[in-house]
């Protein structure tokens, strides 16, 4: 006797993470090279003048409401992009076991750092 099975389709929740991945990836593509060049290379080498990234300037910016929003997005959003890639990259590298835990760890990491950054900005405001 032939049994027939109704195929059960299970909707993925990936669209949420994919949306954040896309937004973060877009931001990273447009801004990150300039940011890294400025904060990581030109300022440490003293090529942009001593006032660049001085404590007063950065503090005023970070404690303004618009500055806080800009900094939150610039620091937190790329993480939702990169941790999404790391999560899928782990599968590419052959870590096929415990995908649920890997997922919790990856997106949980992005979430934790987002909360960390948000808390600091709120405290300073």
Partner 1 sequence: MSKRKPYIRDLPVDWWMKQLFYTKYMIREGSSVLVTIYALVLAWGLFRLSQGEVAFNAWLGSLQSPLAIIFHLCAFILALYHTITWFSLSPKLVDIQVGGKGLDERIIIAVEYIVFAIATVICFLVVI
Partner 2 sequence: MTDNIIEIGILRYRPEEDDKPVMQTYEIPYNDEMSILEALHYIKDHLDSTVSFRWSCRMAICGSCGMMVNGIPKLGCKVFLRDYYPKKVTLEPLANFPIERDLVVVMDDFIKKLEAIKPHIISKKKKCLTEGTHKQTPAEMEKYQQFAMCINCGLCYAACPQYALDKKFTGPAALALIARYNRDNRDAGAAQRMEIVNQEEGVWGCTFVGYCSVVCPKDVDPAAAIQLLKIDSAKDYLIGMFKPD
Of positions 19, 49, 98, 108, contacts partner 1 by CB under 8 A:
49
By CB under 8 A, residue 99 contacts partner 1 = no
Nearer to partner 2, 17 or 68 (CB): 17
| Contact footprint for partner 2 (CB under 8 A) | 9-16, 18-19, 88, 91-92, 96
* Contact status, residue 77 vs residue 27, Cβ threshold 8 Å: yes
Pick from 117, 125, 118, 114: nearest CA to 59: 125
**Nearer of residues 16 and 29 to partner 1, judged by Cβ:** 29
Query: Judged by CB, which is closer to partner 1: 82, or 102?
Result: 82
User: Which of the listed partners (partner 2, partner 1, none) does 73 bind, with a CB threshold of 5 to 8 Å by partner kind?
Assistant: none
Here the tokens at position 101 are 């835990």
Q: What is the DSSP string of 63-123?
A: HSHHHHHHHHHHHHHHHHHHHHHHHHHHHHTT--S-HHHHHHHHHHHHHHHHHHHHHHHHH
Task: Give the pair of three-digit tokens for residue 91.
Answer: 């599968």
Distance CA 88, CA 74 (A): 23
Using CB under 8 A as the binding rule, the residues of this chain from 50 to 69 that contact partner 1 are 52-53, 55, 58-59, 62
**Contact residues for partner 1, defined by CB under 8 A:** 25-26, 28-41, 43-45, 48-49, 52-53, 55, 58-59, 62, 71, 74-76, 78-79, 81-83, 85-86, 88-89, 92-94, 113, 116-117, 120-121, 123-124
């Amino acid at each position: 006797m032939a049994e027939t099975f109704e195929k059960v389709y299970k909707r993925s929740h990936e669209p949420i993470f994919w949306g954040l991945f896309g937004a973060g990836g877009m931001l990273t593509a447009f801004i990150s090279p300039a940011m890294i060049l400025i904060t990581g290379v030109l300022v440490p080498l003293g090529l942009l003048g001593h006032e660049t990234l001085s404590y007063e300037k950065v503090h005023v910016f970070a404690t303004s409401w618009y500055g806080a929003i800009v900094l939150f997005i610039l620091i937190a959003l790329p993480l939702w992009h990169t941790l999404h890639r790391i999560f899928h990259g782990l599968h590419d590298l052959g870590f096929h076991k415990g995908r649920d835990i890997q997922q919790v760890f990856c997106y949980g990491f992005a979430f934790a750092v987002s909360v960390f950054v948000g808390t600091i900005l709120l405290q300073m405001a």
